[in-house]
Chain A
Amino acid sequence: MRLSSRDKKALMLGGLVLAALIGLRYVLMPLNDSWRDARQRIAQAGDTLQRLQDQQLQLRAQHRRLMDFYGPGLAQPLPTAEQAGVEFVKTVEDLLKAAGLGSQGVQAQPVRPLREVPGVAVVGLQVQLAGRPEQITQCLASLCQSRQPILVQSLTATKPGKDGDQQLNVSMVIATLARWEGGR
């Protein structure tokens, strides 16, 4: 079959249009989608990084403010409740010993998740002790600079003796922070 030049031109034009359509469908459009996706990813990652950076700045400022009240342990990762419980007893005993206080009883409290901060729990101890006021003060100061952040949940100090007796009986519930993993 012989084709005229007009037929050849028509065939060539049709082929070009077909090739252009195939290229559009299978090359250009996927490429465009991929590119648009990449641009979105860039924008999202930029936003995320900015947000994370802002959070880091806020955290550092927050830690600086709270450091005087809760000690350097606040910046450390939170341990699990079990780890915190074991460590906390030892920390408290060390603190009392350092303050020259004799413990009259240390009793663990149930681990209680913090309603205000999901994923965080408090591991508490009830501590009974007796000592002179300066010893108590030193103990309270040590609580603020402990290697674990310590919250004083309640405290009762009474002076059982007569006027001349400086001895104080103290009962307090103190707690540290731990990672709460849903009761496990």
Chain B
Amino acid sequence: MGRESSEQRCAWGLEIGGSAVRLVQIAQRDGRYQVLRFHEAALEERWSASLGLREALAKLPPPPEGEPIVLCVADEWVLYRRLDLPSLEREAMEPMVQAQAEAMLTLPPEAMAYGWDRLPAPTSNGTQPVLLCGARREALESCLSAVESWGRPMRVVPSGVACAAACGAILDQPASRFVLIDVAARHTSLVVFHDGRACAVGVLDQGGDQWTESLAQAMGVEAEQAEQAKLAWASGEDSSADQAAAMQGAVQRWGGELAHVYQRCLDQIGGEPAQACVLMGRAARTPGVREVVEAGLGLRVVETASAAGLEVSDGWPLEALWTPVGAALHALAAPSPSITLVSNEPEVAPPSRRAVHSRVLALAAWSLLALAAWYALDMRAADRLDAQAAQWRAESAQGMPAAQALALGRYLEQQPPPPLFMLDELSKRCAREVTLSEWRYDGQGRLRIKGVTRGVAGLDTTLRQLADSPAVKEVALRSATVKDDVWTFEIEMQMNPLHRYLALLGRPAQSTSSDAAPATKETP
């Protein structure tokens, strides 16, 4: 709602009163309000059957797009009633209020417009006070059609409700319980405030125009002339005694009627009187009105020359601003009470049952779809992995199964080194003077060699070096005979398994189950 420009929100209020139409633009910033624009156009033909509403509206500048606008109509078109209903949910109270509205307006439902809101309940006796406003739909729609050329959607609220909203939001509260009296051309609205909130509304169908008519009768002139005379008298110009008496009498009668309205309002809210009164409306400046109110209603009248929460440019009449400002406040936010009689704004309807069902179904369908996709992905992954494993097995089966190949490898690593490596070791480890004549390898890791050497040193060296060989596990001299210092000998060796041989060479094989000994050579 409202255009936001550096936290400033703007809105418009249009008042169609009994004597003039007024348009204001207000801005809200940091909890304060400022009247930016004010336009007023008099209803020139208000004394005739036609008000001349379209002609007056044509003199006002149309509000720009994007800034909300609320229209308020004069209370003379509106009936107010305060109801005490069982305290229920709003939906449950709606039929009761509608029945009361039909009884109040005695109109078929299609011909009436009504709105209602809860009022603060001073006592907690289980009932909920409700303010009900009703009007003829035709009259309200004629107002809307008069501003149709602006091409703006708007709501219609009663003047009393708008004025109460403005008073509750902006006015310095003179007392915890006070009365707002808005004296308009053809009616007078009376709102009782309790702790800053409107709790009762009364309307008197008499205003400044009735005083003009009384003066016209006394002077025997037309209404327009009487109006001029009334304004001259109100501004302090000289007037005849008859005119003054006629005016004072009219104001006195108005005061008496207003006292009845006030008393009815007090009866509705428990009878406790207010402590102060605020007068609004141009007619309230008529001499004698203040005294009549103070005497007739027994209330202290408080001046409203300024309002702490509202900034108004000099020259703009504050008393004429309250009602359109209240309408603009309705456009900015929904003050309390918030009562809309009719509206041509597009409704933001809550989602229908069907829409809710559709959303739930869509959510369920998406969930099912996601679940199905998850399931399908899992099935696909399982099939793919199964196929991979099967393919790997098939590839392995073409050669040797991996487990069998590993077992075979382990078997081969348990075997001694092939004879070539034994021979290599023998050639490296036997002493130079040793000559081998026979060697036998039995396939069980045992190697017997026979040979001759001159001197025992060669035999001794050979035995020691063979014992150091990584291929040899154990070395034993089986026989040795000497003749002329020529030694004939037979040596038996137990060869290391291949994996140990590799480990001792510094090329460790994988550990085997049968041999986990450290790769160190034991010297026999």
Contact = CB atoms under 8 A, between A and B. Distances in A.
Given A45-B382, A140-B419, A63 B375 contact: no
B375 A152 contact: no
Given A151-B415, A159-B438, A55 B403 contact: yes
Interface string B390-408: 0011001011101111111
Interface string A156-179: 111100010000000011000101
A183 interface: no
Contacts of B389: 45, 48-49, 52
A153 to B, nearest CB: 4
A48 to B, nearest CB: 5
B88 to A, nearest CB: 25
Task: Among B382, B438, B509, find the residue whose CB has the most chain A CB atoms closer than 10 A.
Answer: B382
A49 B414 CA distance: 28
Interface string B413-456: 11101111101000000000001111111110000000000000
Contact of A173 (B409, B415, B443): B443
Given A55-B402, A55-B406, A177-B408, A154 B443 contact: yes
B408 A120 contact: yes
A119 B413 contact: no
A56 interface: yes
A17 interface: no
A144 to B, nearest CB: 6
A78 interface: yes
A153 B435 CA distance: 25
Q: How large is the interface on A (under 10, 10 to 19, 20 to 34, 35 or more residues)?
A: 35 or more
Interface string B207-235: 00000000000000000000000000000
B385 A152 contact: no
Interface in B156-172: none
Given A155-B419, A157-B438, A59 B409 contact: yes
A46 B443 contact: no
Contacts of B403: 55
Nearest to A53: B392
Contacts of B399: 76-78
Given A38-B379, A116-B407, A154-B443, A69 B438 contact: no
B483 interface: no
Nearest to B437: A159
A38 B382 contact: yes
Given A59-B406, A154-B441, A69 B510 contact: no
B381 interface: yes
A66 B409 contact: yes
25 contacts: A35-B378, A38-B382, A41-B382, A41-B386, A42-B382, A45-B385, A45-B388, A45-B389, A49-B389, A52-B392, A52-B396, A58-B406, A62-B413, A65-B502, A65-B507, A69-B421, A70-B412, A116-B414, A120-B404, A144-B420, A149-B412, A157-B440, A158-B437, A158-B438, A159-B436
Interface of A: 31, 34-35, 38-39, 41-42, 45-46, 48-49, 52, 55-56, 58-59, 61-63, 65-66, 69-70, 74, 76-78, 114, 116-120, 137, 140-141, 143-144, 149, 151-159, 163, 172-173, 177, 179
